Amino acid sequence: MKRDMDLIRQILLHVEARQFDQVDEPFHVPEYADDIVGFHLELLAEAGLVKTPDASNTGHNFVYFPVGITWEGYEFLDACRDERRWIDAKKLLRQCGTVSFHVMKQLLAKLACEALGIVL
30-76 per-position pLDDT tens digit: 899 988 998 999 999 999 999 887 655 555 555 567 888 999 999 99
Contact between 82 and 58 (Cβ < 8 Å): no
pLDDT of residue 20: 66
pLDDT of residue 46: 92
10 vs 116: which has the higher pLDDT: 10
pLDDT band per the 50, 70, 90 thresholds, residue 78: very high
The share of the chain scoring above pLDDT 90, in percent, equals 47
80 vs 53: which has the higher pLDDT: 80
> Domain limits of the chain?
5-73, 82-115
pLDDT of residue 93: 87
d(CA 73, CA 16): 10
| Terminal Cα distance for the chain, rounded | 36
